[in-house]
Structure 1
């Protein structure tokens, strides 16, 4: 079982020190959230809370996850980083390919690209991208980014993106894994069809196990059921050693945790207190690894 540290909503000046402590404690990765801006009024419900409201406000700290990955990779050696998840729909795939390839190269191939569509119409429209046909557009974006990252002279001619032969150098020396986020049917199909893994938002255990079963069925339909596939999960009702064992047995490969919340320390808590929480968590659950039942 791997553990990813979630750093969402933490003060930005804590991030590099948290990365260094996470590496010392044996965490595998850091999951990096994405938010472009806070609009005063939202025209769509946030999909991962019961009432559709956002659980952050206009003053909540955010950093571009790609910049955060570059900064934290510079002060670590083995720790991996992945976006959890970056909202593709409002962005440009060629610019993203340049950024992702740069991070992969500069970090020594320690970056995974977790992607989703994005839920807010404002993020699309105010960035000059139509909200309509967003799913099909993102499918093309994933194709474009993968194509460019594979290296060499490439071209693409699709419904939304069209370019003649071009090359970005250097290409990453290892393939960048793509993790697909989202809980809807189309998102799960996208993960099964083109992803190296699936990453969840907050879910309860029963919902999570049902989703994992659906992913297994879909991957078999696409002929990908024998390929490696990550399940990165935030489970809100399974904690502690027995809970993490349940998750491992259910097929979760990577549990995303925020240990200081378990200790009553808020997102904006002191750095030293958060570091102590990381060390306590690692002593309990990482030093003595959890292994899935065969």
Structure 2
């Protein structure tokens, strides 16, 4: 099982140091979040908190995850990066294919694309995209992205997107993995049908087990039960060696963690404190040096 470092709401100047330390310590990946902007008034509830409120403010730092992946890729040599998750619904898939292909090439295929629809109507409408029928549009966007990133001269004539024969070069020399987020049954079906894995928001263990079981059923339905498939989890009630063993037994392949939180450090804590936490967590759980 792999361990990935989540860096949501981290000051931007700390990201290169965190990435280099995570690589040194043996973490597999950096999970890069996505947030376009903070609207003063939200018209729908945020789906992953009990009261629907956001966990960040107008001043919380964010960076475009594709730009971050390219920058951090230049500062490291082996650690991977994936978006967790990029909000597809407000973006154009042709432009996005250019960006994703560039990041994959610049990082030496150390990039995975975690995707979701997006939850806020404002993110769609203020970017010139209708909120209605967003799920169907995202399904077609994934088709377009995979088509263009596959290389060669391609064309697409769909319900939402239409273009004649064209080619983007260079194509990634390896397929870019797609990880699909979302906890609804529609999202799980999307992950089972087209994803190389599923990635969670904050979730409790019992709910996570139910999702993994459902994904197994759906992947069998789509004839994909034997293909490799990652389960990337942000589990909020299983920690420590025994907790991580439970997650592995349940089918989790990648635990997304924020080690400095366990040491009482906040998102705006100094870089040095976070680096010490990265080392401490890795020694205990990745390398098994420190008995529990």
Indicate the TM-score class for this superposition, using the shorter chain for normalisation: over 0.9
Runs ≥4 residues deviating over 2 A: none
Q: Determine the C-alpha separation between the residues in 2 that align with 1:215 and 1:49.
A: 23
Once the two structures are TM-superposed, the CA of residue 115 in structure 1 deviates from its matched residue by 0.2
Once the two structures are TM-superposed, the CA of residue 110 in structure 1 deviates from its matched residue by 0.2
3-state DSSP class of the match of 1:89? helix
CA RMSD of superposed structures (Å): 0.7
Number of aligned residues? 289
Q: Determine the C-alpha separation between the residues in 1 that align with 2:28 and 2:162.
A: 38
Is the aligned partner of 1:273 residue 2:281? no
Matching residue of 2:217:
217
What 5-or-longer segments of structure 2 have no aligned partner?
none
3-state DSSP class of the match of 1:273? helix
3-state DSSP class of the match of 1:74? helix
What 5-or-longer segments of structure 1 have no aligned partner?
290-294
Once the two structures are TM-superposed, the CA of residue 288 in structure 1 deviates from its matched residue by 3.0
Matching residue of 1:165:
165
Once the two structures are TM-superposed, the CA of residue 112 in structure 1 deviates from its matched residue by 0.1
Please list, as runs of the form range in 1=range in 2, the aligned pairs for 1:26-175 lying within 5 A after superposition. Answer: 26-175=26-175
TM-score normalised to structure 1 length: 0.98
Q: Determine the C-alpha separation between the residues in 2 that align with 1:88 and 1:176.
A: 16
3-state DSSP class of the match of 1:280? helix
Q: Determine the C-alpha separation between the residues in 2 that align with 1:247 and 1:235.
A: 8
Task: Map Cα deviations across residues 115-149 of structure 1 (whole Å, 9 max, x no partner).
Answer: 00000000000000000000000000000000000
Q: Determine the C-alpha separation between the residues in 1 that align with 2:248 and 2:73.
A: 27
3-state DSSP class of the match of 2:56? coil
Please list, as runs of the form range in 1=range in 2, the aligned pairs for 1:235-254 lying within 5 A after superposition. Answer: 235-254=235-254
Q: Determine the C-alpha separation between the residues in 2 that align with 1:77 and 1:59.
A: 32
Q: Determine the C-alpha separation between the residues in 2 that align with 1:189 and 1:121.
A: 23
Task: Map Cα deviations across residues 241-275 of structure 1 (whole Å, 9 max, x no partner).
Answer: 00000000000000000000000000000000000
